């Protein structure tokens, strides 16, 4: 019965016009600025070595690691696949700068779990299905109910040191450069 319900749910999701292959970004930009304290939050995450969901809390990394918060519109879309594949490919460079990359979307945790494994990603994926954190960070596209593509680099003190928005965030070189500057 569960498999049947899951099949119907996945079929309905796939047929939904709300998830086009090319997700339109809104013209809104985050109200957060470089130099602001990154709002703390807690979200369910996936893509751990043991495959079990976990609770991610930003403040757990204060004083320990820089964090890239890579908000993206939707799993299984072209731009998001390009962006997150680049984070996977450059994972070692982020590690060298004492930086943890986390990907955040409004997708269900099960969707993110499946997609992260399909992409062979090597960093956590967080689900903000309730859309509270995307709204808190000012990146929620209210019309579509998805995150606008935005990457925030947060240093070990919790301060935002870099923000890259829209299509520019598909190219992760800005986030990597900001993390490299924090290393020195």
CATH, residue 68: 3.40.30.10
The one catalytic residue among 70, 80, 140, 163 = 80
**Residue 149 within a domain:** yes
Domain range for 54: 28-183
Question: Beta 125-127 vs 99-105: how paired, if at all?
Answer: parallel
How far apart (Å, rounded) are the C-alpha atoms in residues 163 and 155? 12
Count of CA atoms in the C-beta half-sphere (13 A) of 42: 5
**Residue 166 within a domain:** yes
Number of separate domains in the chain? 1
Closest CA to 103 of 51, 45, 63: 45
**Residue 57 within a domain:** yes
Are 102 and 91 in contact by the 8 Å Cβ rule? The answer is no
Q: Would you give per-residue pLDDT tens digits along the chain (184 residues)? A: 444 344 434 443 443 434 444 444 444 567 899 999 999 999 999 987 777 789 999 999 999 999 999 999 999 999 898 999 999 999 999 999 999 999 999 999 999 999 999 989 989 999 999 999 999 999 999 999 999 999 999 999 999 999 998 888 888 999 999 999 998 6
**Residue 23 within a domain:** no
The predicted pLDDT at position 48 comes to 76
The predicted pLDDT at position 14 comes to 42
Q: Phi/psi at 76 (nearest 5 deg)?
A: 65, 25
**Residue 82 within a domain:** yes
The predicted pLDDT at position 28 comes to 55
Are 163 and 68 in contact by the 8 Å Cβ rule? The answer is no
**Residue 5 within a domain:** no
**Residue 115 within a domain:** yes
The residue count of the chain comes to 184
Is residue 80 part of the annotated active site? The answer reads yes
The predicted pLDDT at position 19 comes to 40
Are 106 and 145 in contact by the 8 Å Cβ rule? The answer is yes
**Residue 2 within a domain:** no
């Amino acid at each position: 019965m569960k498999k049947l319900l899951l099949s119907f749910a996945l079929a309905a999701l796939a047929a939904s016009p709300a998830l086009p292959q090319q997700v339109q970004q809104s013209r809104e930009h985050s109200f957060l600025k470089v130099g602001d304290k990154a709002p703390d939050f807690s979200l369910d995450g996936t893509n751990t070595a043991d495959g079990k969901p976990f609770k991610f809390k930003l403040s757990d990394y204060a004083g320990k690691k820089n964090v890239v918060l890579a908000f993206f519109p939707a799993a299984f879309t072209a731009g998001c696949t390009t962006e997150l594949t680049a984070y996977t490919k450059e994972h070692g460079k982020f590690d060298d700068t004492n930086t943890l990359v986390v990907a955040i979307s409004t997708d269900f945790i099960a969707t993110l779990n499946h997609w992260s494994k399909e992409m062979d990603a090597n960093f956590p994926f967080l689900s903000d299905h309730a859309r509270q954190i995307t709204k808190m960070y000012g990146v929620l596209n209210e019309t579509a109910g998805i995150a606008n593509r935005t990457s925030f680099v947060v240093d070990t003190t919790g301060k935002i040191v870099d923000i890259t928005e829209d299509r520019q965030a598909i190219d992760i070189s800005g986030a990597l450069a900001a993390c490299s500057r924090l290393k020195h």
